[in-house]
Structure 1
Amino acid sequence: MRPESAAFLWDVRIAADRIGTFIAGLTKDDYLVDELRRSAVERQLEIIGEALNNLRRVDSDTAALIPEVGRIIGLRNVLAHGYAVVDDSVVWTAASRRVPELREIIDRVLAT
């Protein structure tokens, strides 16, 4: 793994941890009515997507170890550029289900 690859993976890990902190103890309904938390989670998802996009650009072999990396980057693009069509339920699912799975994958990749 290239040295800069690890830095991008650490950025993903930190953003994933922040999302976990931001949504800890919340239900989906709690999340949907909390504008501040929604904004914070969306920002961290943007960071995850941008870091993985950078990783894919400089180290496609390592990026390929992350399932659905293209979809993760796509979500980042929607959040950053298609903000008017963001589906908060999709973001909640990403934050509450997919990010913890991604966090585990990142840990495994960093351990190699």
Structure 2
Amino acid sequence: MRRESRSIRTQVTARGGNEFVIEDLDSLRNAIKETRRMHPIVVGLPRVAEKDDAIPLAQPITSTTGQVVTEIPTARGRLPEVWGDDAHVWNPGRLFRIKTGKQINIGVFANL
């Protein structure tokens, strides 16, 4: 993130300015989102499962195949199905790769 903001600062200085304008901040948007994905603002709020686990359901549900489900298994790590094969790497470019069609939504803001 520091490297990204320094790069924008260099562009601002090169054009003779000393303050960021809205266009400069827009260009940092994906870097900010990616940084928030990798390093949440709230301490102790991990965005990655630290171990294989299961989330118990308050009430069992029945799947379309008739199976009764009482818990949802979670796998350790970040979801490559959502974030790509490089899910463990800081890469703001991933937010430019928007897929068409149905997407996996795991949060209310930018999938965070």
- Using the size of structure 1 for normalisation, the TM-score is 0.31
Structure (1 or 2) with the greater strand fraction = 2
Larger gyration radius, structure 1 or structure 2: 2
Structure (1 or 2) with the greater helix fraction = 1
The higher relative CO (CA closer than 8 Å, separation ≥ 6) is in: 1
- Using the size of structure 2 for normalisation, the TM-score is 0.31
